Protein backbone atom coordinates (compact mmCIF):
# COMPACT_ATOMS: atom_id res chain seq x y z
CA UNK A 1 0.00 0.00 0.00
CA UNK A 2 1.28 3.48 -0.79
CA UNK A 3 2.44 5.72 2.04
CA UNK A 4 -0.57 7.05 3.90
CA UNK A 5 -1.01 10.61 5.11
CA UNK A 6 -3.52 11.95 7.62
CA UNK A 7 -6.77 13.15 6.15
CA UNK A 8 -9.87 11.61 4.64
CA UNK A 9 -9.44 8.43 2.63
CA UNK A 10 -11.79 5.92 1.07
CA UNK A 11 -10.52 2.38 0.60
CA UNK A 12 -12.12 -0.38 -1.41
CA UNK A 13 -11.23 -3.98 -0.71
CA UNK A 14 -11.32 -6.73 1.87
CA UNK A 15 -11.33 -4.88 5.18
CA UNK A 16 -8.87 -7.22 6.93
CA UNK A 17 -6.31 -6.91 4.12
CA UNK A 18 -6.66 -3.13 4.01
CA UNK A 19 -6.53 -2.64 7.80
CA UNK A 20 -3.50 -4.93 8.19
CA UNK A 21 -1.59 -2.79 5.69
CA UNK A 22 -2.21 0.40 7.72
CA UNK A 23 0.06 1.56 10.53
CA UNK A 24 -1.10 1.14 14.14
CA UNK A 25 -3.38 3.95 15.31
CA UNK A 26 -4.16 5.18 11.78
CA UNK A 27 -7.90 4.39 11.76
CA UNK A 28 -10.37 6.49 13.75
CA UNK A 29 -13.58 5.00 12.32
CA UNK A 30 -14.67 2.04 10.21
CA UNK A 31 -18.23 2.35 8.88
CA UNK A 32 -19.91 -0.63 7.27
CA UNK A 33 -23.27 -0.53 5.54
CA UNK A 34 -23.95 -4.05 4.30
CA UNK A 35 -27.58 -4.82 3.57
CA UNK A 36 -28.76 -2.44 6.29
CA UNK A 37 -29.01 0.46 3.80
CA UNK A 38 -28.88 3.19 6.46
CA UNK A 39 -28.21 5.86 3.78
CA UNK A 40 -25.90 7.66 6.22
Rounded Cα distance between 23 and 32, Å, is 20
Inter-residue contact 26 to 4 (CB < 8 Å): yes
pLDDT for 5 equals: 72
What's the pLDDT score for residue 1? Answer: 58
Which pTM does this prediction carry?
A: 0.48
The answer to whether 18 and 11 are in contact (CB under 8 A) is yes
State residue 15's pLDDT score.
78
* Dist CA 14 CA 1 (whole Å): 13
pLDDT in tens, 14-35: 878 888 888 888 888 777 767 7
Q: For 16, what's the count of Cα atoms within 13 Å in the CB-facing half-sphere?
A: 0
Amino acid sequence: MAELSRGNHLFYGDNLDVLRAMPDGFVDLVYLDPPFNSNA
